Amino acid sequence: MTIKWYPGHMSKAHEKMAELVRRIDLIIEVLDARLPLSSSNHLLAELRRNKPWIKVMNKNDLADPRVTKAWVRHFEQQSGIRALPLSAKQHREVLQLPTLCLRLAPHRGKPGRPLRAMVVGIPNVGKSTLINTLAGKAMARVGDKPAITTCAQQIDLRNGIILSDTPGVLWPTMSDQGAAYRLATTGAIGANALDYTEVGLFAAEFMLLRYREQVFTRYEITTPPESAIALLEQIGRRLGCVVSGGQIDLHRAAEAFLRELRAGKLGRVSLEEPEETAVVPESSVTENVPEAEPQ
């Protein structure tokens, strides 16, 4: 199955983002720390206009710490970019962000000259949670499904910083199906655009390759499976996804497995490393498978 997902409002959001970037001082891009490259908006670099750019690596508590450190080094080799791993639900961690913003745009954040920051991010990376934590109250809608925010809004943090929140936007083509499957694994793509069994098999094979001991520990597996489908069957049996005749309902098993993986119940996992394209398992994925302008 080839994953394609680009809801209609996203095209309009991209046009709005291109217009907005002319009037802001700094870009805050919220990424999923488990897949910082796949969860970045590849169109943003074209719109940046050399503005300072903070890559907030959210869900840091779910990501492999060793890999996260490598990503920070990777991002900060690029001009004008800073990386900040954190959990958007942790107020103490989030407080680092305003300080970093003011340091990167010292000409702003003063009376009459607020620092204008645009917050961007693909669906379901925690952008709205981050904004609400910064604001100290519910200013943006939060949900466990992608594409919750559908229109832009401004939020005055009353600390010299004004945020412009934008809808979660993916890039319009999904030619990199490896990235698409990684996004689907973390829940960034709408359920109606994916096949849970295929995504579950992709995730199972990845975990066998990179984090097999964590999988075996979670599901008390003593006989190592020979394939992703065998692993998913063992997981399904352990989680009670059994139908008449003792067969495993692979769809239910995949859903349950992905739900646990997303929640961090298999430990801290990163789905990609810098300068590396994570392997798309052939056995489980089909072939188709400047200064701010005055205002």
- Both 157 and 243 in one domain: the answer is no
Q: Is the pTM value of this prediction over 0.75?
A: yes
Find all residues with CB under 8 Å of 145, minimum gap 6, and list them: 124, 190, 191
**CA separation for the pair 243, 137 (Å, rounded):** 45
- Give a yes or no: residue 276 inside a domain: no
Report, as an integer, the average pLDDT of 150-158.
75
**DSSP per position, 210-225:** H-HHHHHHHHT--S--
pLDDT in tens, 34-56: 999 999 887 788 888 889 999 99
Q: 91 is in which domain, residue-wise? A: 8-165
From CA 256, how far away is CA 238, in angstroms rounded? 11
Which CATH number characterizes residue 230's domain?
Answer: 1.10.1580.10
- Are 254 and 199 within 8 A, CB to CB? yes
Q: What are the tokens at 254?
A: 């995949």
Domain shared by 237 and 118, yes or no: no
CATH number at residue 42: 3.40.50.300
CB-CB contact of 62 with 88 (8 Å) = no
271, part of any domain: no
What is the tally of structural domains in the chain? 2
Better pLDDT: 34 or 18:
34
Q: Are both 55 and 158 inside the same structural domain? A: yes
Q: Are residues 15 and 139 in the same domain?
A: yes
What does the pLDDT look like over 258-294, one tens digit per residue? Answer: 999 999 999 999 999 997 744 444 444 433 333 444 4
Instruction: Report percent pLDDT > 90 for the chain.
Output: 60
Task: Please check whether residues 158 and 208 belong to one and the same domain.
Answer: no
Q: Are residues 203 and 141 in the same domain?
A: no
Is residue 177, in this structure, part of any structural domain at all? Answer: no
Q: Is 106 exposed, middle or buried (0-12, 13-18, 19+ CB in 10 A)?
A: exposed
**Assigned domain for 254 exists:** yes
Are 56 and 199 members of one domain?
no
| Contacts of residue 283, Cβ cutoff 8 Å, sequence gap at least 6 | 201, 205, 227, 228
30 and 121 belong to one structural domain: yes
